[in-house]
Homo-oligomer: A and B are copies of this chain.
Amino acid sequence: MPEIAIILGSDSDLPKIKDCFSILEEFGVSFDITISSAHRTPESTREWASSARDRGVMVIIAAAGGAAHLPGVVASHTTLPVLGVPIETNIAGGLDSVLSIIQMPSGIPVAAMPAGKAGGSNAALFAVSILSVSNPDYAMKLKKYREKMAAGIGVKNEKLKSLGHAEYIKKLGEGK
């Protein structure tokens, strides 16, 4: 019985949100992953979504690209919180996925996450923040995660001060 259920419109989206998986694992959140398309497998998407609350799922993460209907279609079959992750496309600079996810009609909410690199990680973190509402353990873990993030930036500043910007940029380039 996973706390978070993840659904993707295509297996090619898996690597694009892999930060989502690693962050959930880092927080010790249970989750499962299903590939199911709003359009190509509407029946299994519907069954998956409409039974999610009864399966004990607490939050749903749905990722899709193009005319990204998946988060909305999932939300139409459940009253659980649904987080929509737009997968970047080349058309209109990715606005197709972003607008298809954010502009849901009144009555059926979807929470839109960022397009691009931050989509997977922020979906994971937002899901944990929802769990933290009734689970103080997750609230504590989120607080520590942020402190670690801030500390990491502190370390970079010290390195920048000691190396100087020219050297730092050179090392960044090599690090790639």
Contacts and interface: CB of A to CB of B under 8 A. Distances in A.
B169 A66 contact: no
Interface string A47-82: 000000100001100000111010011011101110
Contacts of A81: 126, 129-130, 133
Nearest to A22: B166
Nearest to A116: B91
Contact of A122 (B33, B42, B91, B107): B107
A106 B111 contact: no
A170 to B, nearest CB: 9
Interface in A18-61: 18-19, 21, 33-44, 46, 53, 58-59
Interface of A: 9-12, 14-15, 18-19, 21, 33-44, 46, 53, 58-59, 65-67, 69, 72-73, 75-77, 79-81, 83, 88-96, 98-118, 121-123, 125-126, 129-134, 139, 142-143, 145-146, 149-150, 153-154, 156-157, 160, 165-166, 168-169, 172-173
Given A66-B116, A106-B117, A133-B133, 14 more contacts: A35-B153, A40-B149, A41-B149, A69-B69, A81-B129, A91-B98, A93-B93, A93-B94, A95-B99, A100-B100, A107-B149, A109-B122, A109-B126, A111-B111
